[in-house]
Amino acid sequence: MSLNCLVYVSLANQEMSDEHLKSLLKKAREKNASLNITGMLLFRDGFFMQALEGDPDDVNNLFSTIAKDARHRDVILVYNKPIKDRGFPDWTMGFNKIDDQSLEAIDGYTEFLKTPTSEFFANRDNEAEALLNQFKHQLFF
């Protein structure tokens, strides 16, 4: 079975309380489980970064649906590429809510989640992967 990993970023269209985020995650986890999709969602001050892993067609179809969701805007595809193994094999959707302090603690500190423009995200695959890997062992809820 071939696998793809797709990463995108977007901006929330509304204030996202912990209750909003928990509701969003519950629905995402149910949907992802039904499609055998794994991944992780990072959230910072209205800014989302999400990784989706699974069958390429399923990942692309889910991303098409997500991109149309009215809860966010300015959806930017960071990358979509084949992978050998899942980076988040045990999570239908891992989650971490991060802040400036947690970003500054990252080895090789990055402005990755501070500049939501398509130009900024061009050719930043390695930074995206490093950021997701940094937080995948620190689940929030």
Domains located in the chain, CATH noted: 3-135 (3.30.70.100)
- Taken in order 69, 88, 76, 3, is the CA torsion positive or negative? negative
Which CA distances in Å does 33 have to 39, 60, 80, 91, 139?
11, 16, 20, 9, 18
Helix or strand (DSSP H, E) at 6: strand 3-12
Q: What is the DSSP letter of 13?
A: S
Residue 141 CA to residue 97 CA, distance in Å, equals 9
What confidence tens digit (pLDDT) does each residue in 20-46 have? 899 999 999 999 999 999 999 988 888
In the predicted model, what is the mean pLDDT of residues 98-104?
62
pLDDT at 53: 96
